[in-house]
Amino acid sequence: MRYAFGFGLCVMLAASASAQSWLLVGNAGTSGSTNFIGTTDSVPLNFRSNNQRVMTLFNELTVVNTDQFSAVDVLAGHTSNTINPGATASTVFGGLNLNSTDFGNHSYDIGGTISGGANNFTGTNDGFLFGQPYATVSGGIGNWASGNASSITGGRSNRAAGVASVVPGGENNTAGGDWSFAGGFGANVRTSTVVGDSNGDEGTFIWADKSVSSGNFSSTGPNQFIIRATGGVGIGTNTPHGRLETSGADSFSAPQFVMNASSGAWSRMAFTNSGTGKFWHFAAKCNGANPGEDELNYYYQDTAGSVAINPMQIRGDGRIAIGGGLPETGITLKVSGTVKCTALVQTSSGRYKNDVQPLPSVLDRFLQLRPVSFTWDKDHGGDKDVGLIAEEVAAVFPEAVATIDGKVEGINYSRVTALAIQAMKEQQQTVASLRAENAELKARMDRIEKLMSSSPR
């Protein structure tokens, strides 16, 4: 009698096969409860090819503290592959020898799985079988899933060190935080050893492109979502023209970009310079009791904080303030500073006007106005200026001033212009009348002089 061993099957051959033989052409009349290939003692079942072990099946019981783990271990592939004694429920395939050097796969802790590849590891070889259990490496080379329930899909020289951390492949990536993700090339979520706590940068997602040939693109804190993509990130497009581009139809119900803040908070976007420390903020708040309390704000601050200003602020009821300060009630556009433009047109078409009447006499009242020079207070710029005092104008031309909450606030100089034109016309009428009177007097004087010169002396 002789024995032949092949992958997955051990067959006993004899000159005349008995009922106890497993035939190469198959058996009939077997019973799953009594007929099997295997052992009846605690010795592992080995399968060989070319007289080299290709698979070993263990059925073992491991006790960790008060917990009992009973499962089957599957150790297959190259002979350099190993499963630590007691690391039950482990499965290891793959492994190889290259130029007389073994590159085996190794499961150190309970429940480790290595599906293929070479020189891959699960768990930690610290003698504690339940230290980092249930780790998985699907393939690749030089990968190490050392975190509890961590996973590496493939690639090379990757590490998943955090609890339930994931590396989907790539090269030189480290998912060091619990529940972290690292992919691409050189993406690094910092481990607990680096951070100095028990979780590393937990909850962090990091993806790095191959724009650099060496070095890591590392996280700086927990619960981050970090991307290095020098070719751009496209949402709805595969041809981004900047670091981030969104594309696609938008509507009020589905805009391309949304910033949502909790009640009482601002939605904020920052524009900064890491070299100077200066920054702009573009922020909005939409939780006011009425539209006038909802704000859209532009804020600027320099490095030392000596300049901190809201260059522009917009309210939901349409009021705007430019140059610092806040929008004011009753004022649609408030500008603190000088306005320069090539044309400033005020709507004045007769198409929009009813009950048009000529102005009554205004000259006497107009002459009561007192032009003055003055210096603005600090809140209004502190500059030298000339003009009128609004309260004095209100006393004679109340229609030419603006009031807020019953208080005189400013002058509508376009109305003062109309009043000035009317005053000038009245003055011109007076001048014309005086000229006519002067001409009549001159004519009378001429006649008198002529009579006197013709009378005998």
245 φ/ψ angles, rounded to the nearest 5 degrees: -140, 135
What are the pLDDT digits (tens) for 12-57? 444 444 557 788 888 888 888 888 888 888 889 999 999 999 999 9
- Residue with more model confidence, 255 or 214: 255
DSSP state for residue 292 in the 8-state scheme: G
Q: In whole angstroms, what is the distance from residue 418 CA to residue 256 CA?
A: 49
Q: Number of C-alpha atoms within 13 angstroms, CB side, residue 449?
A: 6
3-state DSSP assignment of residue 206: strand
3-state DSSP assignment of residue 14: coil
Average pLDDT over residues 142-164: 97
Q: In whole angstroms, what is the distance from residue 179 CA to residue 165 CA?
A: 5
CB 174 within 8 A of CB 193: no
How would residue 356 be classed by pLDDT, with cut points 50, 70 and 90?
very high
Q: What are the strands of the beta sheet with 166-167, ordered from one edge?
A: 45-49, 52-64, 67-76, 91-92, 113-114, 136-137, 151-152, 166-167, 181-184, 205-208, 225-228
Tell me which residue of 155, 156, 163 sits closest to 204, measured CA to CA.
Answer: 163
Average pLDDT, the chain: 89
Which residue carries 């524009």 as its tokens?
A: 271
pLDDT at 457: 61
Q: In whole angstroms, what is the distance from residue 218 CA to residue 51 CA?
A: 48
pTM over 0.85: no
Which residue carries 């290709």 as its tokens?
A: 54
Q: In whole angstroms, what is the distance from residue 139 CA to residue 115 CA?
A: 6
pLDDT at 66: 79
Among 99-103, 276-280, 302-306, 320-324, the least confident range: 302-306
Q: In whole angstroms, what is the distance from residue 356 CA to residue 420 CA?
A: 18
Radius of gyration of the chain (CA): 46
Q: Work out the widest C-alpha separation in the chain, in whole angstroms.
A: 184
Distances (CA, A) of 142 to 110, 116, 120: 20, 11, 5
86 φ/ψ angles, rounded to the nearest 5 degrees: 90, -10
What are the pLDDT digits (tens) for 161-200? 999 999 999 999 999 999 999 999 999 999 999 999 999 9
How would residue 420 be classed by pLDDT, with cut points 50, 70 and 90?
very high
Tell me which residue of 70, 77, 101 sits closest to 91, measured CA to CA.
Answer: 77
pLDDT at 4: 40
Average pLDDT over residues 420-443: 93
> What are the b/e assignments for 120-148, b being 16+ CB within 10 Å?
bbbbbeeeebbbbbbbbbbbbbbbbbbbb
Could you tell me whether strands 159-160 and 174-175 are parallel, antiparallel, or unpaired per DSSP bridges? parallel
